[in-house]
Chains A and B, each alone.
Chain A
């Protein structure tokens, strides 16, 4: 890995990798797009071009689907014993781990992700996700059924076929592994379209998959835009299933395209406006830490969520006691679908909480993601940066109290100060819409019932946090919130065995856990008469 400045200012923190893969990966080969077109991928730290990437369009998707279809219909992958798929997936995981540093650097320059988090958490956790599903590949069971007459019947779980994966830019490593892992284990073949902002690591994974021995055509990666390549995937007549993570608006287009084409089943992991409920009995310092983690964790959040290994635990355990981790809940760029962007605080501790929050956020360092002291990197691109700033202006105009931040940072790149609004009302725009940036809204509530009601008064239902030591409150509130994941006295506590996904407009289907495997499997029931069986 040779150092390369990419036009950046001096790089004191880490060597920037050479960009090795910039073409589409189809049928085991890196190829130019049929049109010959390319697009720029930008370094959000500097707003400068990292490199040009082949721009896949409809005809490239067609080629990729053809390769995947052949690999599914006539190739070895779905026909291998599960233990063989497991072996190859374990090798894939090892190769990812061997290239952790380079992969982390790619996500840092491409997605503005904190390098040290990516290195210690994101990439190792992606490798572990492949290992988790590798271990599931030889444990895909049907059931023997209890029929009501002289019939023998059982179910087979069969791979669903060619899968289209459309992934977002906020957690390139986790999203790739969360979608590719279970579908590989199931025996599917696939076309992956990473977000146009963050293609670099996906192309690197494609390269590693080939080295690991995954047959040609099983994983195809098409870099490109949503309205061209993404639309071609969701409306393709020969893709059997689409899995999408991203915005609710785009999720809607995908489901419509699926309905209009071949009625392929869809799973959607979409936006959120997740509440964190902090009750009076909570330790205020810990609550402040969790709130900051939950919202600001945008760029920071990525790492801790899925990766959760050493760094994560260190952050939580080490920072919690002395409450330095203030900003964890919301900030860290806030580019996370489960961001705890609505923080409800019970009135008895509201003033203290707000005061400590304002102090805590001061220690939140915004800066280059390669700098190990930094908690929050730049927003992923100019569009996102401007969108977040416009929401901040909305908040000011609507009369919320600006407790901290509220402007861009005084430096080059898409950096925004961690921003906290207090005294936010439920009907303000910043309380209702997903901002996807380091903006926390703090609300006051009186009773538990009121908090539950207000927490549920959203069209989304992805995640929720509860801070309390009272077992009865924890039980009542966790049951009452309509959301797919509830974290009690923790946040971003993702885990490979933990399914997560949305209620309401946050989508449907689950990623991670054994639940995710089901999305890539068909249920086939087989029945035959039995004669002279000693029992039914």
Chain B
């Protein structure tokens, strides 16, 4: 694992990007924070500073909201025909596509994400998301109502107004567009606060939006911290809706701030402790592959991570053996190295937190099958870690770890599997591995979670909505459902006279 210093411009044959945008993006211009303050964004491969970024606070959020408010109340964006918004969004998508390499590299140095994945999957899927919602912009329909007397009634779907988006650091690009694209299609204007760990690509997207012709004030990006900039967004009296993805504890603060300010509606995509249920009839190779994919992809920094793997007793031993073997071939290393399967954790905080959960697991008496330690000489790298014989009441079985830590549990019957899978305060995702159609149907209906993947995992798709049951939040991302979060329903009624029918 060769980790090059920040000063060098090439890493494993890939060009490291110049950092072009480090300021707040307000009303179409890159500007310093009013306070003049900046903060460091760190390369998790090395722990070194990449760049200093303008640190937005409440007064910068005020300016951004003012710009977004003007753009909504008086600007062209919400008043354009949907087809014109579509055209501009498609242009935006084209520009993202033309800069895939640079954007993937930004997320790799800022978040430690695998460069190859970014290039081949993450950024292209962003293009796809923008194009998907671009195609929805001219298909936003109200309904004609069936009134019970001589009245004509219909509904209009109108943009909700100024939206605040608060996004996490694990998928900086995907989260930016899961939120910005449907809001753009709906005709909203917005203030986006990317996670302070990963501001770089968001600022780049702001730049591209301007090139694409998205009018000034429609997209504003405020880089900064949650307790300052994030709090200012959630409690702002002139923001009409907040969409948040992140931890359950911060989601709680966002919802409280919304309630205490202008009662803006909120959508929350929060934590998870998602189960993967593997049944006796499953193909062991498939099961092992999905278990790995579910909890080790993106270094386990995945809200839908299958961090509880429940295995039926008949296949348990064989699966454990397979997983141990598989783990040996799993390469942890620099995200620019094409042979790497897993990069560094996003920052020191996260790195320390994961290691402390691993220590908990050991102390609580789970069997450490593999991993369990940091790796690499510098940077925030952790070995893929698998615990077996995990009990439901252990901390590692209950808390969201958000790192490469798998807990294996054994179960006997379908009913027991369902019951234990549901014994969590979360309900974001679930996986089922079986060939039996009846098992698949029963279990998928029984699990209280927003997404159920059968014989697949992390199978996100633009047309497939996902979001939480229980304390994993409410509201949905992706799919046409998401558009609803950014639209108001207005009902209009007028008497009708002499209509031949009702």
Q: Do the two shown chains form a genuine complex with each other?
A: yes
- The residues of A with any CB-CB pair to B shorter than 8 Å are 128, 145-149, 151, 153, 155-156, 158, 240, 248, 251-256, 258-260, 262-263, 265, 268, 270, 308-309, 313, 459, 474, 478-479, 483-490, 493, 495-501, 503-505, 507-510, 513, 515, 522-529
23 contacts between A and B (CB under 8 A): A145-B461, A151-B461, A153-B459, A158-B445, A255-B258, A262-B471, A263-B255, A263-B471, A484-B488, A484-B489, A485-B491, A490-B151, A490-B494, A493-B493, A498-B147, A499-B155, A501-B489, A504-B262, A505-B262, A523-B465, A524-B449, A526-B454, A528-B456
Determine the distance from Cα of A443 to Cα of B446 in the docked complex, in whole angstroms: 58
A527, B259: Cβ atoms under 8 Å? no
B148 within 8 A of A: yes
Min CB–CB distance B293 → chain A (angstroms): 13
- The closest CB in chain A to the CB of B478 belongs to A525
What residues of chain B lie closer than 8 Å to A256, measured between beta carbons? 256, 259-260
Given A474-B494, A490-B495, A497-B153, output 13 extra A-B contacts at Cβ < 8 Å.
Answer: A256-B259, A260-B256, A263-B248, A308-B149, A478-B492, A495-B145, A497-B145, A501-B489, A507-B263, A509-B265, A526-B453, A527-B451, A529-B456
B251 within 8 A of A: yes
- The residues of B with any CB-CB pair to A shorter than 8 Å are 128, 145-151, 153, 155-156, 158, 240, 248, 251-253, 255-256, 258-260, 262-263, 265, 268, 270, 425, 440, 444-445, 449-456, 459, 461-467, 469-471, 473-476, 479, 481, 488-495
What residues of chain A lie closer than 8 Å to B471, measured between beta carbons? 262-263
A484, B453: Cβ atoms under 8 Å? no
A495, B153: Cβ atoms under 8 Å? yes
What residues of chain B lie closer than 8 Å to A309, measured between beta carbons? 149
- The closest CB in chain B to the CB of A265 belongs to B474
B153, A498: Cβ atoms under 8 Å? yes
What residues of chain B lie closer than 8 Å to A523, measured between beta carbons? 450, 465, 467, 476, 481
What residues of chain A lie closer than 8 Å to B256, measured between beta carbons? 256, 259-260
What residues of chain B lie closer than 8 Å to A308, measured between beta carbons? 148-149
What residues of chain A lie closer than 8 Å to B455, measured between beta carbons? 528-529
A527, B489: Cβ atoms under 8 Å? no
Which residue, B440, B449, B456, has most C-beta atoms of chain A within 10 A? B456
- The closest CB in chain A to the CB of B459 belongs to A527
B265, A508: Cβ atoms under 8 Å? yes
A493, B258: Cβ atoms under 8 Å? no
What residues of chain A lie closer than 8 Å to B156, measured between beta carbons? 479
Contact of A259 with B489 at beta-carbon distance under 8 Å, contacts A490-B494, A498-B145 already known: no
Determine the distance from Cα of A515 to Cα of B491 in the docked complex, in whole angstroms: 11
- The closest CB in chain B to the CB of A465 belongs to B493
A248, B149: Cβ atoms under 8 Å? no
Determine the distance from Cα of A79 to Cα of B453 in the docked complex, in whole angstroms: 23
B491, A484: Cβ atoms under 8 Å? yes
What residues of chain B lie closer than 8 Å to A505, measured between beta carbons? 262-263
Determine the distance from Cα of A420 to Cα of B459 in the docked complex, in whole angstroms: 62
Min CB–CB distance B97 → chain A (angstroms): 16
A489, B262: Cβ atoms under 8 Å? no
A252, B450: Cβ atoms under 8 Å? no
Contact of A486 with B491 at beta-carbon distance under 8 Å, contacts A248-B263, A479-B156 already known: yes
A527, B454: Cβ atoms under 8 Å? yes
B453, A527: Cβ atoms under 8 Å? yes
Min CB–CB distance A254 → chain B (angstroms): 8
B461, A153: Cβ atoms under 8 Å? yes
A498, B444: Cβ atoms under 8 Å? no
Min CB–CB distance A249 → chain B (angstroms): 10
6 nearest A-B pairs in the assembled complex, by CB-CB distance: A255-B259, A259-B255, A528-B454, A488-B494, A265-B474, A508-B265
Contact of A525 with B251 at beta-carbon distance under 8 Å, contacts A255-B258, A486-B491, A487-B493 already known: no
Min CB–CB distance A64 → chain B (angstroms): 20
B452, A526: Cβ atoms under 8 Å? yes
Min CB–CB distance B447 → chain A (angstroms): 8
B464, A145: Cβ atoms under 8 Å? yes
- The closest CB in chain B to the CB of A312 belongs to B149
A260, B252: Cβ atoms under 8 Å? yes
Determine the distance from Cα of A248 to Cα of B261 in the docked complex, in whole angstroms: 11
A251, B491: Cβ atoms under 8 Å? no
Determine which of A146, A268, A479, A493 lies in contact with B263 in the assembled complex, contact meaning CB atoms within 8 Å.
A268
Contact of A148 with B470 at beta-carbon distance under 8 Å, contacts A263-B255, A263-B270, A486-B490 already known: no
Determine which of B251, B263, B451 lies in contact with A270 in the assembled complex, contact meaning CB atoms within 8 Å.
B263
A528, B440: Cβ atoms under 8 Å? yes
Determine the distance from Cα of A253 to Cα of B463 in the docked complex, in whole angstroms: 36
B147, A495: Cβ atoms under 8 Å? yes
What residues of chain A lie closer than 8 Å to B470, measured between beta carbons? 240, 262
